[in-house]
Amino acid sequence: MLQKILHFIMKRQFSKWLSTPFELGEKPRRIHIRYEAMVKIDGHDDVEYVTLLDYEMRDGSQGGGFNGPCCFSFCDVDHDKVEPEDLIISYLGMYLMISQSPEEVHQLEPEVEETIESIIKKSGFEDVEVHESIICNEVLYTLFNAKLNSHEFKGCIYNGDEIVSFEENNALSNIPAYYYAYGKDRIEFQIEE
């Protein structure tokens, strides 16, 4: 009974969020909870209940999103092609990063950019292109594109030499990799026993 109430609340909140003018501007015809998890977030006292939802609009268009500490959707990601846990890590990483008020770095000093490129190349990547950087909790997160074994990758380097990367045919490559990098070390899925 409690689970049905929780599902109703999560669907209702998500539906209200979708209907705002800043999102889709109308309520969906159908919402389904695809995945749910209890998650411990580093630095938070309570365990967070997070749902991954699928929706269908009146015109037949479909999408997916999240409800937990906030409602959100990665519009460019096909949820069917990504593990639910990886989506939740990216979603919560985004939420935590934004709530920390990251400082955007618009342009790196040439020496810093060269250093970052050389570290990425030492990991085996070629044709490295460094992009946007963000400082969050005094850590520099830098997005990059590169090749590895003739495959295109999008990734993030942080903590000096830690790299998270996704091959371009991976749906997660459509999400800034620093969300996943920020979330993966701060999220612990709680297993029910």
Q: Do 44 and 102 form a contact (C-beta atoms < 8 A)?
A: no
Task: Please state, in angstroms and rounded to a whole number, the distance separating the CA atoms of residues 32 and 53.
Answer: 6
20's tokens: 């705002």
- What percent of the chain has pLDDT above 70? 97
E strand residue ranges, 60-159: 62-67, 103-105, 126-136, 139-148, 151-158
Q: Do 155 and 132 form a contact (C-beta atoms < 8 A)?
A: no
Whether the pLDDT of residue 193 is over 60: the answer is no
**Range with the lowest mean pLDDT among 14-18, 71-75, 82-86, 120-124?**
71-75
pLDDT of residue 80: 85
Whether the pLDDT of residue 112 is over 70: the answer is yes
Q: Which residue type does 40 have? A: K
Rounded to two decimals, the pTM is 0.91
Mean per-residue pLDDT for 36-41?
Answer: 94
